[in-house]
Chains A and B, each alone.
Chain A
């Protein structure tokens, strides 16, 4: 006889499979714990329109119970709306309890697994749950408690509950004591995660102290909380039959025809006509959905899949914006120059997607990193992705771009080289991850193409900086060339002829006069190039310096034929004009130069 079949709770499943959700190694365990807590804080703040202020502390407390591990205290504190007393156990102690599940919005968290998994990890390695302090606006005193997961029943259990005074009107502080090893630097390190999070969340003020390192504060550069667009109604082409039928249960007694128009996006009266034309019985549309049989739904579903529909709306995605991204990228370090691109939302694999790219050259990286690959920062719904780089759509897209045309070195089919940071952010209510721990984005052809376009645009902008620089070096070389070789040439000729000093002097003067004409022109060109470059840099600086909602934009599209118009920037339009002017000027300089080169050739 077969052994008896038992069913187990979700919590049991995850407690045995924590590696699937980011707890696959000691270092990843710490990172995932921080990540889940910070993501939750950011989501909660955004939900309530609060400018987030988050502090993260990682401390080594002692030796862990696992082999070669430390006992690490992870503390994350926010100024979010706080969690009500009843919800605390559900948030931290119950799997799949989420306010965000399947809503089709671009939030960081989606299913409600992560933070409960962190609690489980703490419980498994250190036999204690998570310490939570929470205060909502309505509470007079804050709640302090410990939450544990009742693994058998997938339920949160609250212990040591007490009310305490807390010096803030609302917020949450969580403290995990877990086994693991804290990795600060490197691609998979805590610092990369925190800095990356700051980059794509310009409105975030972040303070962190990692182990014995000095505390770091990253101030916010944007005063607006991004508005997360509401989810749009589902698109029939993105559903499966089961989902389709289940969707009908949300609506009362309306006809199938009405339900299709109301409950889905991109379904209109015209669509209904096409359904009939496509072979659907007209009377089916008149049946009330509560009376419809599964076979009726099946018929409707089959026909609607064949009818061409407009692609789903892209309203449900949000962007960081070029302005905020430019300001934010300056927080990465000493940025020489940068370029940012925000693509218009688009549809990839029938899902709305928006791609944003920021490329920056960092001064501190230029010494040791001139021959190594660029640093890639990947973001999905504004959460850094730090593992399994090679299989990711973003990395594939970067490798597919020919960066040599923009002045960067690049071995064949690999990442470009140099002291650059390439940050790519992908936002979509439905990102297809390769695994439950959300480490890599699945590389569909359409998505890679869209990412590629964004990268190419960023590369083109970047190349303006790089080229201006190359031109300056080239011109400087020219001048040095004349000064170096002129006297040697004349000296040699005079020695061969035994010419007197007076002739030598005269010839040197003549040569200098001759080459001087060229060098003076070279100097002039150098000046123009430098002015052009500085102008552009000043422009970017200005944008970065101006805070608030002042409408300023970086040049988005290069208008090669832009006319040069002298105006003082007074707003969005003027800023654009000035930007165009800078571009136009540069083009004319390079044209002049190429003409000169032709002549001398």
Chain B
């Protein structure tokens, strides 16, 4: 539990500093990394977004004393969890804090009105200590990343030290659900694995498996389920690091997928700058749908609806990303930003399921196209 010990150490340092300042009637100042796009740096060699020098300073004064008291109160609960090995979700922590306050009337002023308030305090603690909330034993539910493979074997180290071995080939069409604490997992390939395919739509990933994708290919197939969660990002990173196989992402051709889903998977996000190193897979390649695929396979695409607020907003954000997002601004990612530019210019989109139009009577046509693209290297 090296991370846990580290967190305990940092917390104690923080409290010591706080107490010493107070004893001397000095105004304590807490610094946290600023997690926003304007403080994001991107280095192609590294492959993910890292924090810049900007810090958010919180000075203890009349206005911040409530936030500070709440942070210390929540930290106490989290440290206790680390000590006992208990884990919780944010919502559970909200109720645990409610319970603490209920049994100790003196704490009444700290009471959270809703979960948003307690969530923001947990985030504040993470930023202050530059740690993941998983380090504080606070986990999100495991969403997305359902994985199929005939070759992959996963070994999980349980909190009590026991080991659980999962051979994915024994699961049939049942997926393996990765945990969002990838540090406790070890991967092994029973047989050589050629590639890992991450499909944006969980449903399409299911279809591919049902139609025998994993039987015909020595591959790992994963469904991302929209914007990749920590579980998906950490799991992809683990696959990249431990198996050293090419990873491809296959999703819609639209502005939202490019900048929200693909960018986050490949380089992490601005709001999680401090943990992108473990939660991004920089080697992921964009397999499609590529603009050229539309012509080549005669895919049915359609124009972006001008009155669809969501789509119009995505295009506007794409324009903004080209100007301000260090990932898209980096020359080495030119191919990706070219796609964004194409989307902005043509205002058309094409969904991943469009592959099913190519030969409606052949259920494995999409698989054939995907494999062909991988073999021929048609990706960016």
Query: Known contacts A478-B62, A481-B66: does B23 contact A489 (CB below 8 Å)?
Result: no
- State the Cβ distance, A477 to closest chain B Cβ, in Å: 9
Within 8 A of B (CB), among A454-513: 478, 481-482, 484-490, 492-497, 499, 503, 506-511, 513
Please give, as numbers and ranges, the residues of chain A lying within 8 Å of B189 by CB-CB distance. none
B61, CB-defined interface residue at 8 Å = yes
- Chain B's nearest CB lies how many Å from the CB of A504? 9
B-side contacts of A497, CB under 8 Å: 12, 15-16, 19
CA distance in complex: A492, B11 (Å): 12
**A522–B79 Cα gap in the complex (Å)?**
36
Determine the chain A residues whose CB is within 8 A of the CB of B18 once the complex forms: 493
Q: Which residues of A contact B22 (CB under 8 A)?
A: 490, 493, 507-508, 510-511, 514
When A and B form their complex, what is the total count of cross-chain residue pairs whose Cβ atoms lie within 8 Å? 84
Asked whether A493 and B19 contact (CB < 8 A) given A488-B73, A488-B109, the answer is yes
What is the 8 Å Cβ interface bit string for chain B, positions 253-267, against chain A (1 contact, 0 not)?
A: 000000000000000
What is B's interface to A at a CB cutoff of 8 Å? Answer: 11-12, 15-16, 18-19, 21-27, 60-63, 65-66, 68-69, 72-73, 75-76, 79, 106-107, 109-110
Instruction: Name the residue of chain B whose CB is nearest to the CB of A496.
Output: B15
Q: How far is the CA of A506 from the CA of B21 in the complex (A)?
A: 11
Q: Which residue of A lies closest to B18 (CB)?
A: A493
- Knowing that A490-B19, A493-B19, A496-B72 are A-B contacts, what are 14 other residue pairs whose CB atoms are under 8 Å apart, sorted by A's residue number? A485-B66, A485-B109, A492-B75, A493-B15, A496-B15, A496-B75, A496-B79, A507-B19, A509-B25, A511-B25, A513-B25, A514-B25, A522-B62, A600-B62
A514-B60 contact in complex given A497-B12, A499-B19, A503-B19, C-beta closer than 8 Å: yes
- Bound together, the chains give a CA A488 to CA B110 distance in angstroms of 9
Q: How far is the CA of A525 from the CA of B69 in the complex (A)?
A: 26
Chain B minimum-CB-distance residue to A488: B69
Q: Say yes or no: A493-B72 contact (C-beta < 8 A), given A510-B24, A510-B25, A514-B27.
A: yes
Q: Which 7 A-B pairs have the closest CB atoms?
A: A492-B72, A510-B25, A507-B22, A489-B69, A484-B109, A485-B69, A510-B22
A-B contact pairs, 5 of them (CB 8 A): A485-B66, A493-B18, A493-B19, A494-B19, A503-B19
- Which of A496, A506, A510, A511 is within 8 Å of B76, CB to CB? A496
Interfacial chain A residues near B79, Cβ < 8 Å: 496
> Does any Cβ of B come within 8 Å of A518's Cβ?
yes
In the assembled complex, how far is the CB of residue A112 from the closest CB belonging to chain B, in whole angstroms? 64
Contacts of B68 in A (CB 8 A): 485, 489
> In the bound complex, how far is the Cα of B59 from the Cα of A600, in angstroms?
9
A515 at the binding interface (Cβ < 8 Å): yes
Interface size class of A (residues with CB under 8 A): 20 to 34
Taking CB atoms, residues of chain B closer than 8 Å to A489 are 65, 68-69, 72
Main secondary structure of the interface of A (DSSP, over half): helix
Q: Is A519 an interface residue (CB 8 A)?
A: yes
Tell me the nearest residue of chain A to B108, going by C-beta.
Answer: A484
With a CB–CB cut-off of 8 A, which chain A residues contact B106? 487-488
Chain A residues in contact with chain B, CB under 8 A?
Answer: 478, 481-482, 484-490, 492-497, 499, 503, 506-511, 513-515, 518-519, 522, 600-601
* Least distance between B56 CB and chain A CB atoms (Å): 13
Question: Are the CB atoms of B72 and A506 closer together than 8 Å?
Answer: no
Q: Measured between alpha carbons, how far is A518 from B27 in the docked complex, in Å?
A: 12
| A197 and B363 alpha carbons, distance in the complex (Å) | 87
Can you name the residue of chain A whose Cβ is closest to the Cβ of B60? A514
User: A483 → chain B, closest Cβ, in Å?
Assistant: 9
Measured between beta carbons, the chain B residues less than 8 angstroms from A522 are 62
Whole-angstrom distance between the alpha carbons of A293 and B196 in the complex?
107
A495 and B11 CA atoms in complex are apart in Å by 12
Known: A485-B109, A513-B25. A492 touches B62 (CB 8 A): no
Q: How far is the CA of A77 from the CA of B157 in the complex (A)?
A: 99
Which residues of A lie under 8 Å from residue B73 when comparing CB positions? 488, 492
Task: Tell me the bound Cα distance from A352 to B23 in angstroms.
Answer: 73
Asked whether A492 and B19 contact (CB < 8 A) given A481-B65, A515-B65, the answer is no
CB distance from A496 to the nearest CB of B (A): 5
Task: Given A493-B18, A496-B12, A510-B24, decide whether A486 and B76 contact each other with a Cβ distance below 8 A.
Answer: no
In the complex, the answer to whether A600 meets B63 with C-beta atoms within 8 Å is: yes
Give, as a whole number of angstroms, the nearest-CB distance from B187 to chain A: 38
A261 to chain B, nearest CB (A): 68
Within the assembled complex, what's the spacing in Å between the Cα atoms of A497 and B109? 22
Residues of B within 8 A of A600 (CB): 61-63
Residues of B within 8 A of A495 (CB): 76
Instruction: Tell me the smallest distance from the CB of A368 to a CB of chain B, in Å.
Output: 26
- For the complex, what is the distance from the CA of A486 to the CA of B19, rounded to whole Å? 12
CB < 8 Å neighbour of B23 from A478, A481, A484, A507 = A507
